[in-house]
Amino acid sequence: MKGLPPVVITAIVLVAGFAICATQYPNIASTRVVGNLLTDNAFLGIVATGMTFVIISGGIDLSVGSVIGFTTVFVAIAIERLGIPPWLAFVAILVICAAFGAAMGGIIHLFDLPPFIVTLAGMFLARGASFLLSTESIPINAPIYSTVSDFALRLPGGGRLTAIAIIMLIVIAAGALLLHLTRFGANVYALGGSRATTALMGIPVGSMTVRIYMLSSALSGLAGIVFSFYTAAGYSLSAVGVELDTIAAVVIGGTLLTGGQGTVIGTFLGILIQGLIQTYITFDGTLSSWWTKIVTGVLLFAFIALQQAIIVLARRSVLRRAGATS
Amino acid sequence: MQKGPDPAPLLDVRGLAKSFGALRALQDVDFTLRAGEIHALLGENGAGKSTLIKVVTGVFARDAGIVRLDGAEIAPRSAKAALDCGIATVYQEVNLLPNLSVAQNLFLGRQPTRLGVVRQAEMRRRATALLQEFGLHIDVAAPLGNYSVAVQHVTAIARAVDLSARVLILDEPTASLDRHEVEILFRVMRQLALRGIGIVFVSHFLDQVYEISDRITVLRNGRLIGERETASLPRIELIRMMLGRELAETTGERVAAPAHGAGEACVSFEGYGKAGTIAPFDLTLHHGEVVGLAGLLGSGRTETARLVFGAERADSGEVKVEGRAARLHSPRDAVAYGFGYCPEERKTDGIIADLTVRENIVLALQARRGLHRPLSRGEQDEIAKRFIELLDIRPPDPERPIGLLSGGNQQKVLLARWLATSPRLLVLDEPTRGIDVGAHAEIIRLIREFCDKGLALLVISSELDEIVTYSDRVVVLRDRVHVEQLQGDAIDVTNILAAIAADGAARGAAS
């Protein structure tokens, strides 16, 4: 028996959903709308790429939303109050975020703690730190911000592919390459299959764990920078709850929440599905925006149920095989 | 068949010792593996096979002794270090990753790369070639989990050998394989032996041991019993090495009261069985009677116990409790009929280590009464106190977490848990496992005492002399069939051994 891989199901859901929306509001099927959809969800796509690695390796990272919030505040203060050149502020925050992630990964490995707890602590820590820096929203007026916002590739049909959308697409492509074509990627899947076994097979489990959380936090930092471009401000309350949207996108994209299976492309499709729901609600105009959450919830539940069904079916077929041989 | 004048050993273990707390898992064990031989390591549960393997492969640190590989002393600190020395282990639970492709499993951590990118085609080509050496022609791009356990075992072996292993330890590799798959595995083993690799084969299938192994080492209770050439070791002798002490020691010890068989039937099973687990059996347990279940590991003893307790659901036969038809579909049913079960894995299935002695004792009684009728603290204290005195549990402190007690005392608490429910039938699976000698005798004495009060007992034990000591009746199992029931004076170690070895003895002697 070979069922459809979950990522194909995600793709079908996306195409079907898009078709339904397009029949109701033909304007949705335009490059303008699609371009905006990519721009609006650029930061989410970047952070979800990192989350995909973490979840496939059998972990979870609850700190990503707070890290985004911290990043926007840090960047705003560095550029606007301290007068640090923007590129230097970007490099600094990426290094800080990577170190933060490495520390979480190290703690998870050294003390053999559940990633849930460690990254939950990281979530409070990063959010608290951003309040410490500033509790107000700080507008960013550096020239590079207007340059980046103005830059866009013109798409046929009047759409614009903005700089931050391009950054997201590059991150997703690079993430897919890293996950699917390198030893590092193979080790990520191995960790998600079984930590103990992976260690027995001679893979340095500790350094892998550190590097995976480092990647996730660094990408959160990048997402934070992108988010500051998007809003042209730094605010300590930005991106609250984004970790949950991210996890939802990853799971809807067909990644097994228990680890071992998943793709970056699937995650991208999951992001697009969430974006599509938002777009639909905007077009409709009468629906409350909370319907995004409700539909996401239903989809999430459907996908988790689907994955469980696939696992149960697979186990049953293995059992049947074993039963036949005994 | 001689292989020249005693070739230098590949792996040489001398005087190995290992203790876990008060339990001596290994004492002064020697083990010698030559290059190119298949060496069976045998013993019942708790004999020390796994401990020996884990010490040699660096999972446990040893307390004393020397391990030499090719004459050089080694002391690996981890499975990885042992692998680097050239000692690879393949466990019954295959230690590979079912979610990765076969090729990734073979080459994880050492995939061929170009500019950091894994060369998938090259890796698949090499994986295919490697597995073909072992007679496997499969699609290496498919997830390992899609293949049978036999293929997974061969893949694990191929990975180990490709990592230049010289000693290969196979721990119960055939337990979940069918006959054809065993053939595949044996062919691979013979091929590797010809290449000069030393193979340690742990199994409880004696037929397979006689078929494949050159020599046999037997352990019992953490001690070396002997090392023999397979060809010159009759099967009954081997079973005696695994199960019994010297016959002279055991025959006089019987304490069972002879006339118990006449008591009233308590529980009776007719044609009770489950396909693939245990063949249908008839078994009647009388009040005040101890029935022992004897047989080798994997002969169906524990399966019988689980069926009796409803932990497995029978697919044939009938059961009667006190002469009335009954239904045992779950342990809940069994408890409702007044059955109790002390499982073999005390640590994982029995005690709840963080709870106190008192809480562990009242657990089953409370479960039987239901949550809406809680036992008052006073009642709990009363019950705990009574059983601590009755069974002489030490230290006599009902509020001490049970995890801090010795094995023998933990076992007594488990007994107390079921005795507190005043059961009709109690099933004990290896009640004396991992318990020091003094406590051992005491548990046996307690078993007898409770029986005299009208309780029916079904006891599983690998220690034949122990079974002979307390049983009124002994059921002998072989290959998941109840082959014989011994009663009265017929119960002795020789007769039990003869029943266990019955069909294999001829074959063993002939080979």
A120-149 pLDDT, tens digit per residue, is 999 999 999 999 999 999 999 999 999 998
Residue spans of chain B under pLDDT 50: 1-5, 246-253, 256, 258-261, 505-511
Q: What is the pLDDT of residue B490?
A: 85
More confident residue, A104 or B503: A104
Q: Check whether A222 has a pLDDT greater than 60.
A: yes
Task: Give contacts of A311 with chain B, Cβ < 8 Å.
Answer: none
The C-alpha angle with vertex B483 and arms to B479 and B486, in degrees rounded to 5, equals 135
**pLDDT grade, residue A263 (50/70/90)?**
very high
Q: What is the pLDDT of residue A324?
A: 42
**pLDDT grade, residue A211 (50/70/90)?**
very high
Q: What is the pLDDT of residue A325?
A: 41
Q: What is the pLDDT of residue A15?
A: 92
Per-residue DSSP letter, B260: G
B199-223 burial, b for 16+ CB within 10 Å, e for fewer? bbbbbbbbebbbebbbbbbbbbbbe
Chains A and B form CB pairs within 8 A to the count of: 70
In CATH terms, is domain B250-338+423-503 a member of 3.40.50.1110? no
ipTM value for the complex: 0.84
Task: Give contacts of A201 with chain B, Cβ < 8 Å.
Answer: 95-97, 108-109, 159
Cis peptide before B395 (omega within 30 of 0): yes
Among A133, A132, A106, residue whose Cα is nearest residue A119: A106
Smallest CA–CA distance from B121 into chain A, residue: A181
DSSP string, A35-102: HHHHHHTHHHHHHHHHHHHHHHTT---TTHHHHHHHHHHHHHIIIIIS---HHHHHHHHHHHHHHHHH
Q: How many CB atoms lie within 10 A of CB A223?
A: 34
As a whole number of Å, the end-to-end CA separation of chain A is 21
Q: Check whether A323 has a pLDDT greater than 50.
A: no
Q: What is the pLDDT of residue B401?
A: 86
Residues 32-91 of B with CB under 8 A from A: 79-80, 83
More confident residue, A223 or B335: A223
The residue type found at A117 is I
* Average pLDDT rounded to a whole number, residues A243-266: 92
Q: Is residue A32 part of a domain?
A: yes
* Average pLDDT rounded to a whole number, residues A252-256: 90
A269-306 burial, b for 16+ CB within 10 Å, e for fewer? bbbbbbbbbbbbbbeeeeeeeeebbebbeebbeebeeb
**pLDDT grade, residue A305 (50/70/90)?**
confident
* Average pLDDT rounded to a whole number, residues A26-31: 89
Q: Is residue A1 part of a domain?
A: no
Q: Is B176 on the interface with A (CB under 8 A)?
A: yes
| Domain count of the fold of chain A | 1
Are the beta carbons of A46 and A71 closer than 8 angstroms?
no
**pLDDT grade, residue A326 (50/70/90)?**
very low
**pLDDT grade, residue A53 (50/70/90)?**
very high
Q: Are strands B223-229 and B215-220 parallel, antiparallel or unpaired?
A: antiparallel
Looking at CA atoms only, how far is residue A316 from chain B in angstroms?
12
Q: What is the pLDDT of residue B347?
A: 67
* Average pLDDT rounded to a whole number, residues A250-259: 91
Cβ neighbours of residue B347 closer than 8 Å, sequence gap 6 or more = B353
The CA dihedral of B492, B495, B496, B502, to the nearest 10 degrees, is 170
More confident residue, A291 or A198: A198
B15-33 burial, b for 16+ CB within 10 Å, e for fewer? ebbbeeeeebbbbebebbb
Give me the domain span that covers residue A167: 6-325
Q: What is the pLDDT of residue B6?
A: 58
The enclosing domain of A282 has a CATH number of: 1.10.3470
Are the beta carbons of A166 and A151 closer than 8 angstroms?
no
Task: Give contacts of B113 with chain A, Cβ < 8 Å.
Answer: 182-183
Looking at CA atoms only, how far is residue A260 from chain B in angstroms?
6
Identity of the residue in B111, B159, B181 whose CB atom sits nearest the CB atom of A183? B111
The least confident of A188-192, A212-216, A321-325 is A321-325
Domain ranges of chain B: 9-233, 250-338+423-503, 360-422
* Average pLDDT rounded to a whole number, residues A162-186: 96
Residue the block writes with tokens 């520390």: A103
Tell me the C-alpha distance between B490 and B261, whole Å.
Answer: 14
Q: What is the pLDDT of residue A312?
A: 77
Q: What is the pLDDT of residue B434?
A: 63
In CATH terms, is domain B9-233 a member of 3.40.50.450? no
Q: What is the pLDDT of residue B245?
A: 54
Instruction: Choose the mutation target among B90, B100, B151 for the interface with A, i.e. most A CBs under 10 Å.
Output: B100
Rg, C-alpha atoms of chain B: 25
Contact: B95, A197; criterion CB under 8 Å? yes
3-state secondary structure of B28: strand
Q: Is B303 on the interface with A (CB under 8 A)?
A: no
Common-topology check for domains B9-233 and B250-338+423-503: yes
Q: Is B277 on the interface with A (CB under 8 A)?
A: no
Are the beta carbons of B392 and B441 closer than 8 angstroms?
no
**pLDDT grade, residue A315 (50/70/90)?**
low
